[in-house]
Amino acid sequence: MKKENIELTKEQALLLKARAKKPFNAKRFIIRAIESFFVILGVAIILFPIFWIVVRSFAPNDYVPIQEWSFFPKNPTAENFIAVLTKPLKGGYNLVNSLFWTLIVSVASVVLGLIIMMTAAFAFARLEFRGKGVLWWYTIITMFVPGIAVNLTSVYLVDLIGLKDTVWVLILPGLAGGYGIFFFRQFFLGLPNSLEEAAMIDGCPIFQIFLKIFVPMSITPIVIIATRMFNGHWNSYLWPALTIRDNREKYAQVMQLLAAIKESEETAYVIAATMVSIIIPILLFALNQKRIVSGIAISGMK
Amino acid sequence: MKKTKDTIYYRDKRAHNRFHYRFQWHAYLLILPAFIFVTIFVVAPLIISFVRSFFEYETGIYNKGMNYVMVLTDPEFLITFRNVFFIALILVVLMLTTSFLYANCLNSLDNKLSRFARTMIFVPFFISGIISSLMFSTIFDVSEGLIGYLYYTRGVYFDADIPGGLTHVTLAGEYVVGGGNFWPYFLIILPTWWGGFGYQALMMFAGIINIPKEYYEAASIDGASATRKMFSITLPNMKNYFVLVLVNLVTGYFQMFEIPKMMTGGGPEKYSKLFGMELMRTESPVLWLYSSVLGQAGGPDRNIAVAGAFLIMVFVTIANILVFKVFKSEKSMDS
Q: What is the DSSP string of B239-255?
A: HHHHHHHHHHHHHHHHT
Angle, CA of A203, A215 and A175, to the nearest 5°: 120
Say which range, A78-87, B17-26, B266-275, has the weakest mean pLDDT: B266-275
Which residues of chain A does B52 touch, with a Cβ-Cβ cutoff of 8 Å? 153
pLDDT per residue over B270-314, tens digit each?
444 444 444 546 677 888 788 767 766 556 777 888 888 888 888
State residue A43's pLDDT score.
94
Residue of B23, B30, B258 with shortest CB distance to A119 = B30
Percent of chain B scoring above 70 in pLDDT:
70
Q: Is the pLDDT of residue B324 over 90?
A: no
Is B169 exposed, middle or buried, given 0-12, 13-18 or 19+ CB atoms closer than 10 A?
middle
Residue A289: which H helix or E strand, with range? helix A289-301
The backbone torsions φ and ψ at residue A135, rounded to the nearest 5 degrees and listed phi first, read -60, -35
> Which of A284, A289, A297 has its CB closest to that of B205?
A297
Element (H, E) at B23: none
- ipTM score assigned to the predicted complex: 0.83
Rounded Cα gap, residues A2 and B74, in angstroms: 87
For B176, the 3-state DSSP assignment is strand
Verify whether the Cβ–Cβ distance A274 to B244 is below 8 Å. no
Backbone angles phi, psi at B21, to 5 degrees: -100, 15
Distances (CA, A) of B135 to A65, A231, A279: 16, 18, 14
**Closest residue by Cα to residue A137 from A206, A188, A191, A185:** A185
Which of B32, B38, B102 to mutate to probe the A interface, most A CBs <10 Å?
B38
The conformation of residue B22, written as its DSSP 8-state character, comes to T
pLDDT averaged over every residue in chain B: 75
Residue A225 in contact with partner chain B when CB distance is under 8 A: no
Chain A hits for B130, CB-CB cut-off 8 Å, are 235, 237, 254, 257-258
Q: For domain B75-299, is the CATH number 1.10.3720.10?
A: yes
Contacts of A144 in chain B (CB under 8 A): 316-317, 320-321, 324
CA distances from B266 to B80, B190, B262, B282 (A): 9, 16, 9, 5
Q: Is residue A80 classed as helix, strand or coil in its secondary structure?
A: helix
Q: Which residues pair with B156 in a beta bridge?
A: B168
Half-sphere exposure of A83 (CA within 13 A, CB side): 21
Asked if A139 and B34 come within 8 Å (Cβ–Cβ), the reply is: yes
Q: Rounded to 5 degrees, what are φ and ψ at B277?
A: -100, 145
Between positions 138 and 167 of A, the ones with CB within 8 A of B are 138-139, 141-157, 161
Ranges of CATH 1.10.3720.10 domains, chain B = 75-299
In degrees and rounded to multiples of 5, residue B181 shows phi and psi of: -95, 30
Condensed to tens digits (0 to 9), the pLDDT of residues A151-164 reads 888 888 888 888 88
CB A206 within 8 A of CB A127: yes
Contact B45/A254, CB-based, under 8 Å? no
How high does pLDDT run on average in chain A? Answer: 81
Residue of B109, B144, B302, B331 best to disrupt the A interface, most CBs of A under 10 A: B144
What is the C-alpha separation between B104 and B216, in angstroms, rounded?
Answer: 14
Sort out which chain A residues have CB atoms less than 8 A from B198's CB and list them: 46
Q: pLDDT tens digits, residue range A269-302?
A: 778 888 888 888 899 888 888 888 877 666 655 4
Q: Give the H/E segment covering residue B274.
A: strand B272-274
* Helix H or strand E encompassing B278: strand B277-279
The whole-angstrom distance between A213's CA and the closest CA on chain B is: 16
Minimum distance, in Å, between the CA of residue A139 and any CA atom of chain B = 6
Are residues B183 and B158 in contact, defined by beta-carbon separation less than 8 angstroms?
yes
Interface test with A, best of B7, B10, B20, B30 (most A CBs within 10 A): B30
Alpha-carbon span B118 to B103, nearest angstrom? 9
Rounded to an integer, what distance in angstroms lies between the CA atom of residue A88 and that of residue A94? 4
The answer to whether B47 touches A150, Cβ cutoff 8 Å, is: no
Buried b / exposed e over B139-155, threshold 16 CB at 10 Å, is bbbeebbbbbbbbeeee
Contact B294 A231 (CB under 8 A): no
Binned at pLDDT 50, 70 and 90, residue B172 comes out as very low
Distance between CA B247 and CA A59 in Å, rounded? Answer: 43
Q: Which of A82, A63, A100 is nearest to A272 (CA)?
A: A82
Distance in angstroms (rounded) separating the CA atoms of residues A270 and A53:
10
Shortest distance between the Cα of B274 and any Cα of chain A, in A, equals 26
- Of all residues in chain A, the percent with pLDDT exceeding 70 is 83
Residue in chain A closest to B122 (alpha carbons) equals A293
Query: Of the given ranges (A260-264, B164-168, B198-202), which has the lowest mean pLDDT?
Result: B164-168
Compute the average pLDDT of residues A108-121.
94
Closest Cβ opposite residue A278 in set B121, B127, B251: B127
Domains in chain A (CATH in brackets) are 2-57 (no CATH), 82-301 (1.10.3720.10)
DSSP E strand boundaries for B128-220: 156-158, 166-170, 173-176
Residues 6+ apart with CB under 8 A from B13: none
Our CA-based measurement puts residue A2 at a distance from the nearest CA of chain B, in whole angstroms, of 33
Per-residue pLDDT of A17-45, as tens digits, reads 666 666 678 888 888 899 999 999 999 99
Q: According to the model, what pLDDT value does residue A92 have?
A: 66
What's the N-to-C CA distance of chain A in angstroms? 58
Q: What is the mean pLDDT of residues A183-194?
A: 85
Using a 10 angstrom Cβ sphere, with 0-12 exposed, 13-18 middle and 19 or more buried, the burial of residue A72 is: exposed
What's at A134, amino acid-wise? V
Chain B: give the shortest CA distance to residue A3, in Å.
35
With beta carbons less than 8 A apart as the criterion, state whether B181 and B197 touch: no
Rounded alpha-carbon distances, angstroms, from residue A65 to A217, B132, B149: 51, 20, 8
The DSSP string of B25-37 is HHHHHHHHHHHHH
Pairing of strands B156-158, B166-170: antiparallel
Q: Please state the φ and ψ torsions of residue B174, each to the nearest 5 degrees.
A: -105, 140
| Alpha-carbon gap, residue A38 to A44, rounded angstroms | 10
State the pLDDT at residue B142: 58
Per DSSP, the three-state class of B277 is strand
A49 touching chain B per CB within 8 A: yes
